[in-house]
């Protein structure tokens, strides 16, 4: 059995059950073993975001957008995470780039949780 797959599946299951801390713990190990793998790193960032561990989420998202500047979901999540930290000016360039890459000007609007 490939335990990396097993642990990733466990992390996905935990995330789907909204057990974001467990998902993050499992994903931290996977990302440490496979630092160039974008998919588990993005899920780790999402787990951090949903568990309100905002700075670790920013750190992971910055790694992703540095590796792939056109990764629009990671860049949008980076903007939203920065906004949750009240760093609206820092988030603005990320929103502008996502809007330009996708052609969706609605993405220029600040995200307000609950909307």
The string of pLDDT tens digits covering residues 74-108 is 999 999 999 999 999 999 999 999 999 999 888 88
pLDDT of residue 1: 44
Q: How far apart are CA 89 and CA 82, in angstroms?
A: 9
List Cα–Cα distances, 34 to 10, 12, 27, 41, in angstroms. 17, 16, 10, 9
Taking the CA atoms of 69, 72, 77 and 82 in sequence, report the sign of the dihedral they define.
positive
* pLDDT for the residue numbered 77: 97
Residue-level pLDDT at 2: 55
Name the CATH superfamily for 3-108: Tetratricopeptide repeat domain (1.25.40.10)
Q: Is the pTM of this model over 0.75?
A: yes
Helices (H), the chain: 3-16, 20-33, 38-50, 54-67, 72-84, 88-102
């Amino acid at each position: 059995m490939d335990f990396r797959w097993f642990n990733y599946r466990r992390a996905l299951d935990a995330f789907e059950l909204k057990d974001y801390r467990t998902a993050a713990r499992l994903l931290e190990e996977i990302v440490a073993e496979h630092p160039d793998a974008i998919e588990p790193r993005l899920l780790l960032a999402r787990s951090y975001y949903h568990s309100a561990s905002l700075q670790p989420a920013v750190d992971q998202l910055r790694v992703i957008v540095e590796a792939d500047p056109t990764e629009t979901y990671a860049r949008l999540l980076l903007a939203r995470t920065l906004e949750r930290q009240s760093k609206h000016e820092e988030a603005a360039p990320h929103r502008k780039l996502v809007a330009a890459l996708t052609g969706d000007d609605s993405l220029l609007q600040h995200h307000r949780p609950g909307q």
